[in-house]
Structure 1
């Protein structure tokens, strides 16, 4: 017997309960199935939408165990390169959306969607990072891949007070970049400075879109969680050969821009897909994150650690803005 947080729908109403299950209750994960003892998960914005019913996140039908992140120990494996006892991370690949996710003490996961926990990272630290940290690391790696160096100028991070944004600030600061945080929350200013922001600008500086197709080059690079008019402004304001890593659409999915920044300044717009990121790059990102962040860095990002029965409350608080920092779910 083990415990899991189960979402179900009855007569159109969402039900959220911690239930006792047995291993046979877990859906089969296919020919490369790995049975995992889950040690930790985390609470992300997408999880909060799923657990509260505030967003259409669940696409695999009900009942389902939510939780888009997990880290745990392999109990049994049908995949030759993952052995019993190894520690593995699962993020993305529709975990907690289509497939049963991480809010459970036992999980059956397609082994092709797992990567090994880096040697210098603990299971709990991995879930402090979670999808937010993984996405942020992919974004920073995209800047590096396009030769955006710390001495090139400021890097602006939009949606800075969110999980991905604040993680990006910490990573960039640790790598000696000069970081500008863009946020609409004045209450978040001290938190952003603590994460490593050198200065803060209000999101209104970007959200109305650019006045001209190309404006004065301000930024060597950008990490954008917002999209829409904010992304259009960033493209118009990038310095020559600057790069923006885009992973979100908080302000909308449409992008109204021109070709001028691309053909006259050679700027780069790089999409960050943390959900189906290939495993080779996925593993590289986790290893890089483990090498960049210290245990102290990760500890400072942790808002609180909760048990399985506290997840619904944590989701409500995350959506209402009452939690700043990462929430870890302890499943041991």
Structure 2
């Protein structure tokens, strides 16, 4: 088969960006050592940005987004992979300026792919996807900074999003006391079912932007939103505590001072899952397939086909998506 289905984002004459499902030819894919038949992908905030024409994510259109893919190698020009190998691909340039996982085939450098860990199916790997990898990296960084389950409450901001939901579930599995923050009050029961001990509303966390310091509350935090809420979290960390920062839905800037850092010795830890060395990604996927494996994955996921994605991408941009979106490309 030389043709395959893919979501294509195209700039219309009006300047608006349209998403449609088209047939593409494998010969149109970029050069690469691995040709992969994609079985599952997922939706992330970056995919929604690419699909809306954000040139900070994707420079040239038409384009197929999709920063995640799990599938089967059909052709390999390197010894490390053979036809039939099941692989996971997340990050690097996939779905940004290289045709991504929202198409039934991708062709990529071998250095972007990992063989599927035995403890995860391809479907489970894409329920996790970049969001699950990022959540795991955040928790791993917090633990490297010395945080333990008996330290006190851990805050998760943007808790109904992809990274947030998995972070809540993972922290709960590891024995932490979790406070989930969201702007969606009606999702409190959902978050408590994932394991959150408490749910606090986003507007509560936003109070006190003008103050240099806030009351000590959190033994640690996973922040997925950025903006002034992130620095409010920094200002309310307990002495010596840390926040792992991985998102920007509330903005890329915040009002800051050095006071929390020099008076309480707190840490702001940046987390990237895109250009991370493959060996580090592999170690996280091993954790997610073994000691950190979640039994609650299906409660997090909505499964969609390619034709349903334009509406779902709009919901992500509007902040109305809850949990993870799995894309079935079979």
TM-score (norm 2): 0.92
Q: Which residue of 2 aligns with 1:18?
A: 21
Checking the alignment, whether the CA contact within 8 Å between 2:288 and 2:294 is kept in structure 1 is no
Partner of residue 6, structure 1: 8
Aligned residue among 26, 30, 40 for 1:27: 30
1:312 pairs with one of 303, 310, 313: 310
Distance 1:164 1:300 in 2: 14
- Could you tell me which residue of structure 2 aligns to residue 227 of structure 1? 226
- Offset of residue 152 of structure 1: 0.4
| CA deviation string 1:20-66 (max 9, x = no partner) | 2222111223xxx2111111001222223333x27446523122111
CA shift digits 1:205-227 (9 cap, x unpaired): 22244564333321110001122
Q: Find the aligned partners of 1:255 and 1:321 in 2 and give their Cα distance.
A: 20
Deviation per CA, 1:153-192: give whole Å up to 9, x if none: 0000111111111111011001010000111211111111
Structure 1 residues 269 and 323, CA, compared in 2 at 3 Å: closer, same or farther? Answer: closer
Partners of 1:116 and 1:266 in 2: how far apart?
40
Aligned residue number for residue 267 of structure 1: 266
CA contact (8 A) 1:206 1:229 kept: no
Structure 2 residue 92 is matched with structure 1 residue 93: yes
Q: Provide the residue aligned with 1:110 in structure 2.
A: 109
Whether contact under 8 Å (2:10, 2:62) holds in the other structure is yes
Is residue 128–residue 326 contact of structure 1 (8 Å, CA) maintained in 2?
yes
Q: 2:208 aligned with 1:205, yes or no?
A: no
1:326 to 324, 327, 330: 324
Q: Which moved further from structure 2: 129-138 or 83-92?
A: 83-92
The unaligned stretches of length 5 or more in structure 1 are: none
Does residue 245 of structure 2 align to residue 246 of structure 1? yes
Q: In structure 1, what is the equivalent of residue 45 of structure 2?
A: 45
Aligned residues, how many?
327
SS at match of 2:295: helix
Corresponding residue SS for 1:296: coil
Q: 1:278 to 1:37 in 2, by over 3 A?
A: same
Deviation at 1:143, TM superposition (A): 0.7
The alpha-carbon distance between structure 1 residues 96 and 212, as it changes in their structure 2 partners (threshold 3 A), is: same
Cα 1:212–1:297 change in 2 (3 A) is same
2:170 pairs with 1:171? yes
- RMSD value over aligned CA atoms? 2.0
Asked if structure 2 preserves the Cα contact closer than 8 Å seen for 1:40 and 1:127, the reply is yes
Cα distance change of structure 1 residues 211 and 124 upon mapping to structure 2, 3 Å threshold: same
Where structure 2 has 5 or more consecutive residues not aligned to the other structure, the ranges are none
